[in-house]
Amino acid sequence: WDEAKAFYDSLAPKKKPKSPKPQNAITIAVSSRALFRMEEEQRIYTEQGVEAYVKYQLEHENEPFLPGAAFPFVKALEAVNAQLRELYPDSEELFDIVLMTNNHAQVGVRLINSINHYDLFIERFCMTGGNSPIGYLKAYHTNLYLSSDAEKVSGAIEEGIAAATIFSPSRDLEVSEKQLRVAFDGDAVLFSDESEQIVKAHGLDTFFEHEKAHENKPLAQ
């Protein structure tokens, strides 16, 4: 890790704003396959094995990955951070992005080059080497974990970490990279799924009766 960190420091642009302290920031961990498009690399890994995968990555380390589904979201977070720094220069209540990847250090060079190519402000980089990300997510005080791996997302949720699965869109979508817009599902995300469970178990009529009887009682978190 020390060798990989030293290499990253030699590649990273020097004129970057100071990172916030973890206890003050809203930490969002994003998997490399959510941030960048890595379908071809994943196919090589699945069909040809890890050695062919590492060889391919090393041969293409100076070729940046294409932006993935989470890329506009991360860029929008950075735009919000830029405005917050301008309005509140002494505050550290910012979004802090951590890149999570299963890859080992040999493959990380291409990820670092891609981050620099797109001028992303990602200072923290976690290479799990195939291990579960849960311990790392807890160590980073993660507020939100975004990954293309539904199993890892489920594991994070079971450990009390807010998480969501990122899917690659079937078609290209124009999403703003300068304005942050987030839509949260109310059922079982912001609030408990108690109302949804009543619908499933007893139908809409019972649901409406229940809601009317409890309309002044807040839903659980």
Q: Which of 146, 144, 140 is nearest to 161 (CA)?
A: 144
Contacts for 169 with CB less than 8 Å, ≥ 6 apart? 69
How far is C-alpha 52 from the chain's CA centre? 27
188: left (phi over 0), alpha (psi -120 to 50) or beta: left
Residue-by-residue pLDDT tens, the chain, 221 positions? 566 556 656 655 455 677 788 788 999 999 999 999 988 888 988 899 888 888 888 899 899 999 999 999 999 999 999 999 999 998 888 999 999 988 767 678 889 999 999 999 998 888 887 788 999 999 999 999 999 999 999 999 999 999 999 988 777 778 888 899 888 888 888 888 888 888 889 988 898 898 899 889 988 88
Q: Note if 185 is an active site residue.
A: yes
Q: Are residues 73 and 167 in the same domain?
A: yes
Check if the beta carbon of residue 20 is closer than 8 Å to that of residue 135.
no
Q: Is residue 9 part of a domain?
A: no
CATH code (residue 105):
3.40.50
Measured distance CA(139)–CA(130) in Å, rounded: 17
Out of 90, 172, 185, 205, the active site residue is 185
Q: Are residues 148 and 207 in the same domain?
A: no
Domain that residue 76 falls in = 16-182
The strand ranges marked E within the chain are: 26-31, 36-37, 66-67, 95-101, 124-127, 144-147, 163-165
Give CA separation, 189 vs 29, 135, 220, in Å: 18, 23, 11
Q: Is residue 6 part of a domain?
A: no
Q: Are residues 202 and 159 in the same domain?
A: no
Check if the beta carbon of residue 118 is closer than 8 Å to that of residue 177.
no
Q: Are residues 101 and 200 in the same domain?
A: no
Q: pLDDT per residue over 133-185, tens digit each?
A: 999 999 999 999 999 999 999 999 999 999 999 988 777 778 888 899 888 88
Q: Are residues 166 and 119 in the same domain?
A: yes
Q: What is the pTM of this model?
A: 0.81
Q: Is residue 1 part of a domain?
A: no
DSSP 3-state assignment of 124?
Answer: strand
Count how many domains the chain has.
Answer: 2
Q: How many CA atoms lie within 13 A of 17 on its CB side?
A: 21
Q: Are residues 97 and 147 in the same domain?
A: yes
